[in-house]
Amino acid sequence: MAGPEPTAQSAEPSADRATESDEREHTVAVAHLTVALEAIRTGAYVVDEPGRIVAVNTLAQRLLGWSAEELIGHDAHDLLHRGPRGEQLPATQCVMRQAFHAGRPAQGTNEHLARADGSVLPVSWMIAPYANRDRRADTLVLFHESEPASRPDDAPQPSADGSGRHAEQLTEVERLALLAETTTQVTSTFDVDEAIRRLVALVLPRLADWAVIDLITDRDEVWRTAVVHAEHGTLTHHEDLQGPMPPVPEESPMPLSRALRGVASTLTGPETYQRSPDSGIAVEQRRLFEVSGIHSAAIVPLRGTLDVLGALTLGRDDSRAPFTIADLPLIEDIARRASLALDNARLYQRQRAVATTMQNHLLPQVPRVPGLQMTVRYLPAPDASQVGGDWYDAFTVSEGATALAVGDVVGHDLEAAAGMAQLRNMLRAYAWAQHEPPSRIVERLDEAVLSITDVPMATLVFAQLNRTSEGPWQLSWTNAGHPPPLLITRDGLAEYLTDGHGLLLGTGLNAARPDATTVLPPGSTLLLYTDGLIEAPGQTLDEGLKRLRQHAAALAHRPLESFTDQLLQRVHPPGLDDVALLVLRTP
């Protein structure tokens, strides 16, 4: 059977919520990016994939005389790129534009940018593409004022990004570009492992041949998280050198121990660890130097806002000159930026763990109903750091009936979770006290929503399940703007229960609501779910409903737990929305 047409009641709140969420996430991302650009000690701006300016730092505004409002949203080439006399440059003759379209790091000199007063600013420049939080391609542009060239052969030529050079060989622009890339790339993820991967890719092989990252866990244990070697253009992870480390000695003068206590940065080599070891960490460091062949290392602390997060070790083999004291400021600057990213990622993960735990405690255990199999699932959105308003419920009411509910309160925050708890508890009370059809119970609930709850709007399917005298199970339900339940027979026939549909809760209209009734065939499976299961980018609601129906029908022969887990694996779009799911099967 064909899926139901999406109604305005079910589609609009979800679309509005997605739009508000996207706008909020975009605003936060731009704010983070602007703060990151302010840490760069030269003119800097970021352009998106089409070439529009999306963020700019104060120094760039000062050099060009344009305000951020006058720059952001404009095509960088059209607004800024000029010839030496201020003439507009065709894109085909603009070196910066050509490098931008090539999509790789490049640099040059004697280019000209337009000032707000009509004059031009001769600049040296560097660009560095990177993937933003949405995995779209942005490009960082760095520039500073330079002297105009006096010879024709001084025309700018794009160059490589400096990979493979020693730290002391990096130009000032390259150093700034590396710091800027560290800021934009490493801080644009809330995943610790991804932040580490990006950090390692930035410093190898630009600064070193080896990168080692030791992190201190929440239990004050040290874990060697990454040991990576750059060789012949390939990064190799040495998992045999990774894993748990001995505790940090409180008084040890050894370089790694000092860094893990946040004391100081140190230059060291294998000879430091040839002496009699003073701790288990010293033994592990000796093994690292022996296996890797590192002959010079810089070890710097990774300091968070409140405590030490770990240590970063960069090592060079015999093919490179040893590190010098002059290299430490750059490495420490990189470590500071990486620490900020790791600190934020850890905080996000802690908040997420707390939020998920809280959500799970808010959701009830389902009752045991003789003759029925029932299971539930709750999946938080992977990119959400707070609890949400998706919920399920199942409970026994008077006269032996079983009440079933799945709903969604608008929002993805603590207010939505609080509203969800209020709504669920009120529904339980009404269902227990009122011996009435589902429609009348939801009408009473809707009347109360605006007056005595903090719920702005919500969708809901509320059903009552009874066993008839003849033996089959009978389902009665009403639908308040929610995606329709799905019924699958044991033979794989799947049908959406589209009857009983009415307005969502919280509109203030208090219209009469319809009831619907059906008999559940023996061995049939009933799904009540929230819209996170059927919404996916670039797809209509109808397409999501069709996908769910097809996979549910194909899995109808599976045991209930296997059916539910496999269905979520096949259908759930990762990273979009919470999902609450209630599944039951008749004997």
Alpha-carbon span 286 to 473, nearest angstrom: 70
Mean pLDDT by 10 residues, the chain (587 residues): 40 47 61 76 87 91 92 93 88 83 78 91 85 74 70 38 45 72 76 87 90 88 93 89 91 90 89 87 93 93 88 91 87 88 77 61 70 87 59 84 89 61 85 90 88 78 85 92 95 95 85 92 95 85 93 95 93 74 94
Peptide bond into 156 cis (omega under 30): no
Phi and psi angles of residue 187, each rounded to the nearest 5 degrees, phi first: -85, 0
Its pTM stands at 0.48
The pair of three-digit structure tokens given for residue 455, joined into one six-digit string: 């719920």
Alpha-carbon span 70 to 59, nearest angstrom: 15
The pair of three-digit structure tokens given for residue 459, joined into one six-digit string: 């969708």
Which residue intervals of 453-540 are DSSP H helices?
none
- What pLDDT is attached to residue 38? 79
322, containing H or E segment: none
- What pLDDT is attached to residue 28? 63
Alpha-carbon span 495 to 518, nearest angstrom: 12
C-alpha distances in angstroms, 162 versus 40, 107, 221, 367, 553? 19, 10, 37, 64, 56
Number of neighbouring beta carbons within 10 Å of residue 279: 18
Domains of the chain from N-terminus onward: 8-12+363-585 (3.60.40.10), 39-161 (3.30.450.20), 184-353 (3.30.450.40)
| Cα atoms found within 13 Å of the Cα of residue 547, Cβ hemisphere only | 18
Phi and psi angles of residue 142, each rounded to the nearest 5 degrees, phi first: -115, 140
The pair of three-digit structure tokens given for residue 341, joined into one six-digit string: 């990213």
The pair of three-digit structure tokens given for residue 53, joined into one six-digit string: 């300016």
Number of neighbouring beta carbons within 10 Å of residue 203: 23
Phi and psi angles of residue 478, each rounded to the nearest 5 degrees, phi first: -135, 150
Alpha-carbon span 48 to 34, nearest angstrom: 14
Give the SS3 label for residue 580: strand
